């Protein structure tokens, strides 16, 4: 990341410190939340990805189109289905070893609660699938590249992701429940990846950190069809190197 004269502000950082000290859950000697990197959510099984097949053009050019910020000129990308936080957290946890599932289900639920506070803090449209996917992309990007992302840079990624969703014919065919699943699960995983990175900074675990980095790279490749080292998030948003 380039040096900035501004003070970097992580999109989740202040809220995590204030409302979600997840590292307290590691006091138990049994299942620990950061022993295993989370596998890709089941919603990834060819549903709509890669999301941006033409990544060398907008939304990754570093330019902002007028439609990206207009609330009246763009179709809706909200998660229109009924909230299913508990079910979606359980589905994510079910892909982990059995000893970890109960704890990780709670961790994902708490991660989503933090994410909704981020939506409110940054004044994003609530329950927008673009917010969840942006959190997923930025969270995995931070882990894969071991960098911070300021609030304002994260906020720039959201309309870019929204444009990508609107350009996806497959996204337009998703049912309300599928939209809800995509929104909640990507938000959970993206937020958790950021939390894990914070935990590793407090209590280093080289083996687990390496596993999380590999998972983050795989997640980015699945969603964006590009390698993590080809991506960049900065004051112009998300684009390719």
What is the per-residue pLDDT across 117-166, written as a single tens digit (0 to 9) for each?
889 989 999 999 999 999 999 999 999 999 999 989 999 999 999 988 88
Residues 6+ apart with CB under 8 A from 114: 12, 15, 16, 19, 20, 191, 195
> And the tokens for 76?
């809706």
Point out which residues pair with 239 in neighbouring strands.
232
Residues 6+ apart with CB under 8 A from 141: 147, 149, 216, 220, 228, 231, 233
Is the pLDDT reported for residue 72 higher than 50? no
pLDDT for 43 equals: 52
The answer to whether 208 and 136 are in contact (CB under 8 A) is no
pLDDT for 214 equals: 93
Is the pLDDT reported for residue 17 higher than 80? no
Question: Tell me, what DSSP letter sits at residue 114?
Answer: H
Per-residue pLDDT averaged across 65-80, rounded? 60
Question: Tell me, what DSSP letter sits at residue 230?
Answer: G
pLDDT, the chain, mean: 78
Helices and strands of the chain, counted as H and E runs: 9, 2
Q: How confident is the model at residue 14 (pLDDT cuts 50, 70, 90)?
A: very low
Backbone region of residue 161 per phi and psi (left: phi > 0; alpha: psi in -120 to 50; beta: other values):
alpha
> And the tokens for 29?
């000697």
Per-residue pLDDT averaged across 15-41, rounded? 53
Of the given ranges (30-39, 83-92, 154-163, 191-200), which has the lowest mean pLDDT? 30-39
- The span from the CA of 130 to the CA of 127, in Å, is 9
Claim: this prediction has a pTM higher than 0.85: no
Is the pLDDT reported for residue 59 higher than 60? no
> And the tokens for 123?
């004044």
């Amino acid at each position: 990341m380039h040096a900035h004269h501004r003070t970097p502000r992580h999109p989740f950082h202040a809220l995590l410190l204030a409302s979600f000290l997840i590292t307290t859950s590691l006091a138990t000697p049994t299942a620990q939340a950061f022993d295993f990197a989370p596998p890709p959510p089941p919603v990834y099984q060819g549903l709509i990805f890669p999301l941006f097949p033409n990544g060398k053009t907008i939304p990754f050019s570093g330019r902002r189109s007028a439609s990206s910020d207009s609330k009246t000129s763009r179709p809706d990308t909200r998660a229109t289905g009924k909230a299913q936080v508990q079910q979606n957290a359980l589905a994510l946890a079910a892909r982990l070893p059995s000893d970890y599932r109960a704890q990780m289900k709670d961790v994902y639920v708490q991660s989503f609660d933090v994410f909704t506070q981020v939506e409110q803090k940054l004044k994003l449209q609530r329950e927008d699938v673009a917010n969840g996917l942006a959190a997923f992309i930025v969270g995995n990007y931070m882990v894969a590249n071991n960098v911070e992302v300021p609030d304002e840079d994260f906020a720039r990624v959201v309309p870019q992701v929204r444009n990508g969703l609107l350009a996806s014919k497959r996204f337009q065919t998703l049912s309300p429940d599928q939209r809800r699943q995509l929104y909640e699960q990507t938000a959970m995983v993206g937020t958790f990846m950021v939390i894990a990175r914070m935990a590793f900074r407090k209590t280093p675990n080289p083996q687990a950190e390496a596993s999380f980095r590999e998972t983050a790279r795989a997640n980015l490749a699945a969603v964006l069809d590009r390698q993590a080292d080809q991506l960049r998030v900065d004051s112009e948003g998300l684009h390719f190197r």
